[in-house]
């Protein structure tokens, strides 16, 4: 089978490997669609990720496919079933898991290797985080389970109410997924970016206002909110200390800020202590997803409460993965469906 192997910074090779055989509790999946993701672009640029992937390693974590073989003891899944899944599962026994804070698990098992013809899913993920892909969803739509679960995790942590005013900095794949679920929840959404193509997409997907992310954007946001107070909730979906700072300036008194985008290791940012204190601002960091969230994300996709199809702007074969990642780095297009 063909597998993309990440060797380090911007070094990637498509290699031939043996098709693995599933052991006890495992399933072997023929990948039908793998999606490019901002995290993969970062990993490709930086040559790894402290928590998720150490090269040389197979690569890619958003996928859907068809089961071709199941290991001993697997009875829920059969050959030929279409599935969607996520890239990790917690241990359910550590300090954090016992407190049901599964995204903080000390032994989170990560799965990489979606950019390949076949992928072996480990027993723990088979047990907790694999779902049947309904006939009504395409493989490409099913592959959104992982990124959408991350977004839904953020939405549930920050607590969104119908009628809220929400701003989102970043109109990349994650920012746009936030937009889709926020509109489904009946909020007013202001989207902010600097790339016209992405701003256009946000407009197309129902943003109430799209603003250029330049100086003075705080005023633009305030001006459209009731009594020019600012938004109830501000979300950062870029992963840059300067946009982290900016996102905090957009909320009204009593407002909440969700810092979703992961910044480079070792970076920091500044907070105005008086603003935070006297305006009673809540600032929340968020990471990854949990099995209960994955289940709810699955139900939302299955019931077509959001339509993720418009986020796929290109389809490419596995051989052109390098090009797809370069496009992601250049912020051209939204998501590429890799078809191995």
Asked if 199 touches Zn ion (CB under 5 A), the answer is: no
Smaller CB distance to Zn ion: residue 97 or 152? Answer: 97
Residue 150 C-beta: closest distance to Zn ion, Å:
7
What 8-state DSSP symbol labels residue 192? E
Q: Residues 123 to 182: which contact Zn ion by CB under 5 A?
A: 147
Pairing of the two strands 165-169 and 231-236:
parallel
- What span, in angstroms and rounded, lies between the C-alpha atoms of 310 and 330? 19
Where does this chain touch Zn ion (CB under 5 A) — which range of 34-42, 212-220, 250-258, 274-282? 34-42
Tally DSSP H helices, then E strands, for the chain: 12, 18
Where does this chain touch Zn ion (CB under 5 A) — which range of 94-102, 131-139, 253-261, 274-282? 94-102
Smaller CB distance to Zn ion: residue 143 or 251? Answer: 143
Among 1, 12, 14, 94, binds Zn ion (CB under 5 A): 94
Where does this chain touch Zn ion (CB under 5 A) — which range of 31-39, 195-203, 280-288, 321-329? 31-39
CB of 203 closer than 8 Å to CB of 213: no
Q: Residues 102 to 121: which contact Zn ion by CB under 5 A?
A: 105
- What span, in angstroms and rounded, lies between the C-alpha atoms of 257 and 299? 26
Residue 40 C-beta: closest distance to Zn ion, Å:
7
Where does this chain touch Zn ion (CB under 5 A) — which range of 85-93, 131-139, 194-202, 271-279? 85-93
| Cross-strand partners of 249 | none
Asked if 68 touches Zn ion (CB under 5 A), the answer is: no
Among 5, 6, 31, 37, binds Zn ion (CB under 5 A): 37
Residues near 16 by Cβ (< 8 Å), separated by ≥ 6?
1, 2, 3
Dihedral sign, Cα of residue 292, residue 298, residue 299, residue 305: positive
Smaller CB distance to Zn ion: residue 37 or 209? Answer: 37
CA distances from 128 to 88, 121, 190, 289 (A): 9, 11, 35, 12
Residue 96 C-beta: closest distance to Zn ion, Å:
6
Residue 113 C-beta: closest distance to Zn ion, Å:
14
Residue 272 C-beta: closest distance to Zn ion, Å:
32
- What span, in angstroms and rounded, lies between the C-alpha atoms of 302 and 135? 10
Smaller CB distance to Zn ion: residue 68 or 94? Answer: 94
Picking from 101, 103, 19, 106, the residue whose alpha carbon sits closest to that of residue 58 is 19
Residues near 157 by Cβ (< 8 Å), separated by ≥ 6?
258, 284, 286
Among 14, 81, 91, 224, binds Zn ion (CB under 5 A): 91
CB of 4 closer than 8 Å to CB of 59: yes
Among 39, 225, 234, 290, binds Zn ion (CB under 5 A): 39
- What span, in angstroms and rounded, lies between the C-alpha atoms of 307 and 148? 11
Asked if 301 touches Zn ion (CB under 5 A), the answer is: no
Residue 94 C-beta: closest distance to Zn ion, Å:
3
CB neighbourhood size of 329 (10 A): 13
Total residues interacting with Zn ion, rule: CB under 5 A: 8
Q: What does the binding site for Zn ion look like in residue numbers (CB under 5 A)?
A: 37, 39, 90-91, 94, 97, 105, 147
């Amino acid at each position: 089978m063909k597998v993309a192997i990440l060797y380090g910074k911007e070094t990637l090779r498509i290699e031939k490997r043996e098709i693995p055989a599933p052991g006890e509790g495992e399933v072997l999946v023929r990948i039908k669609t793998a999606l490019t993701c901002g995290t993969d672009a970062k990993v490709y640029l930086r040559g790894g990720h402290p928590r998720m992937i150490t090269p040389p390693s197979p690569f890619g974590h958003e996928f859907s496919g068809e089961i071709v073989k199941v290991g001993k003891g697997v009875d829920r899944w059969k050959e030929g079933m279409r599935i969607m899944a996520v890239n990790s599962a917690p241990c359910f026994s550590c300090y954090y898991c016992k407190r049901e804070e599964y995204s903080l698990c000390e032994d989170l098992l990560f799965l990489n290797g979606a950019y390949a013809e076949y992928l072996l899913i480990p027993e723990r993920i088979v047990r907790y985080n694999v779902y049947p892909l309904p006939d009504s969803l395409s493989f490409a739509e099913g592959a959104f389970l992982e990124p959408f679960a991350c977004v839904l995790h953020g939405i549930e942590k920050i607590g969104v109410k119908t009628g809220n005013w929400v701003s989102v900095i970043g109109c990349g794949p994650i920012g746009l997924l936030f937009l889709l679920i926020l509109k489904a929840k009946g909020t007013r959404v202001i989207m902010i970016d600097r790339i016209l193509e992405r701003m256009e997409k946000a407009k197309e997907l129902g943003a109430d206002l799209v603003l250029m992310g330049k100086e003075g954007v705080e005023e633009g946001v305030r001006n459209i909110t009731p009594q020019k107070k600012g938004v109830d909730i501000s979300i950062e979906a870029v992963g840059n200390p300067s946009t982290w700072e900016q996102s905090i300036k957009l909320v009204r008194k009593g407002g909440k800020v969700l810092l979703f985008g992961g910044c480079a290791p070792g970076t920091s940012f500044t907070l105005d202590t008086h603003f935070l204190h006297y305006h009673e601002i809540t600032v929340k960091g968020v990471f990854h997803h949990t099995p209960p969230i994955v289940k709810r994300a699955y139900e939302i996709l299955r019931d077509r409460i959001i339509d993720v199809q418009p986020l796929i702007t290109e389809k490419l074969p596995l051989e052109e993965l390098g090009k797809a990642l370069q496009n992601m780095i250049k912020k051209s297009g939204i998501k590429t469906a890799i078809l191995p």
